[in-house]
Amino acid sequence: MEYTREKYDKLVKEWDRQDIEINEFIRKLVCAVPCWKCLIECFVCPLLYEVRYREQKLWGVGDGKLYPQVHSLADLLYWHDRNRTEKKKTLDRVKSVLAAWEKPAQTIEKALADNAKLLVDLGKLLSSDATKLVYDVFMRLVPMHLVIAPPASSGHVTGIAKEYTQICEHDKGEPDDCCGPDVGVPSLSRRLLGPQPYLIDPKDYFSVICCVTKDRYLPAKDAYANAQSAWENTDNEFKRLIAEIDEGMKSIEKNAQAAFPPDCKWQKKKPDADSAT
């Protein structure tokens, strides 16, 4: 296993060092760019909200529950299509989290290296490019630093104030972190980073992965398989009825003639005797 105690201790030490350095850099930044919060709230957050609006327009607003009644096979087919789409989104989300945790040491090490380089690069922008500086600090550097952070219970707690971490207040996700890693619906700003592992104690690694697998991945996998099967069965029935309707229309004349009783013939009416001339 590459995620050893030695590797963990080294990564946590680097994370602690960067936490101090990031705090110091933020102090310089807010002095150099007093309007930093306005730049984020007025120009970045609205872009996230616009994406959220489009997603809600596409998929609807609510808790993901589908309507309780259908009134036709076409309604039922659409219901199953939406249901399997939602189940697939959940499955893909959990799979992406598990994939991010396959090599946590390498992934976290890279994230720390990227952040270290970003800090160096940002130092060159303090007097030249305020907009890029603010975006990179509050949308890239700080979020990545916090998402890979060790749990507070480990004793390694960030010194970054909440005013620098809780931005875009209307950009909310639907967390689901019962096993540790969040496999819920992430906020849009969180989605910019993609799934990431965090600095968990190596002794807890396998129990966390087993929990996510057993309690989230396997149920999501089964739910999607059932939803897919239900959609396929309904789709087959839908197509069968469409074909039967088409064939029925084409064969009405043939089938009607075949259904007539054989002794049913037109009889010429004989004239009445009284009317003979």
pLDDT above 60: residue 268: no
Question: CA separation (Å) from 1 to 21, 63, 100, 104, 111?
Answer: 31, 39, 15, 10, 20
Q: What is the pLDDT of residues 238-262, one digit of tens each?
A: 999 999 999 999 999 888 888 887 7
Torsion of CA 24, 27, 29, 33, to 10 degrees: 180
- Per-residue confidence (pLDDT) for residue 262, from 0 to 100: 74
Q: List beta partners, residue 174.
A: 185
Contact 204, 212 (CB under 8 A): no
Transcribe 192-233 into DSSP letters: TT--------GGGHHHHHHHHIIIIIHHHHHHHHHHHHHHHH
pTM for this entry:
0.86
Contact 205, 104 (CB under 8 A): yes
- Per-residue confidence (pLDDT) for residue 17, from 0 to 100: 98
Q: What is the pLDDT of residues 164-216, one digit of tens each?
A: 999 999 999 999 998 999 999 999 999 999 999 999 999 999 999 999 999 99
DSSP assignment letter at 260: S
pLDDT above 60: residue 273: no
Query: What percent of the chain has pLDDT above 70?
Result: 93
